[in-house]
Amino acid sequence: MSKTTMGKRSAFKIQRRLGVELPGLGKAGALERRPYGPGMHGMKRKKLSDYTIRLMEKQKLRFHYGLREKQLRNLVVKCKKDTSRSWVDSLVINLESRLDNVIFRLNWAPSIAAARQMVSHGHIKINGQKVTIGSATVNVGDEITITDKGAKSGNYLQAKARPRLSAIPAFLSTEKDGEKEKAKVMSEALPEDIPFAFEKRLVIEFYWKLK
């Protein structure tokens, strides 16, 4: 399994603090035994400020997709220039179209961090060309394949043995490629493809001043 900046305990703490399972962290079951925030005061009901509620919703995106705050803010600014749809819809679509996320959503990696590691190690190809940047965008019609070495990696084998997600989203398809799999981007991702409970309005309100 890949090394990440967050261990099992901290991944659980993040999910309990936000009150939602974030599949991208690769750690299931955070809310099963402790459906409340971490720490000795976690079970006490707290009245959260409007700012905190909006912050927590934004943090769901940041932690699930494994972004630094600056990366997320830059993407928000970019998406606000897209007038074809709501900027927050554009934001989610951009995040879902990242290569590291796609590898995770295909159940080829146990977490988005692990998927990013597989990409950086050269285990993934798009249209036959090796890509080593996890934030690369996949487009409709792109074919995604895994190298022989990647198909033998611990991350891939773990993901196939214990898939983190029960199904792949409709914008992706897979088929057998010999002993391995290959995938294709069938359509543009949809805002609804986000794999956890999410309130777009709160993120809009959090970033409303950002231009």
Model pTM above 0.85: yes
Q: For residue 36, give Cα distances in angstroms to 18, 30, 31.
A: 9, 9, 7
Calculate the average pLDDT of the chain.
90
Q: Tell me what pLDDT residue 34 has.
A: 59
Residues in the chain: 211
> 64 near 22, Cβ under 8 Å?
yes
DSSP 8-state symbol, 129: E
Q: Any residues with CB less than 8 A from the CB of 134 and at least 6 apart, and which? A: 98, 99, 100, 115, 116, 119, 120
Q: Tell me what pLDDT residue 40 has.
A: 45
Q: How far apart are CA 211 and CA 194, in angstroms?
A: 24
Q: Tell me what pLDDT residue 44 has.
A: 53
Q: What share of the chain is helix, strand, coil (3-state, %, to 5)?
A: 45, 10, 45
From first CA to last CA, the distance across the chain in angstroms is 39
- Which stretches of the chain score pLDDT less than 70? 1-9, 33-46
Query: What domains appear along the chain, each with residue ranges and CATH number?
Result: 8-92+195-206 (1.10.1050.10), 98-188 (3.10.290.10)
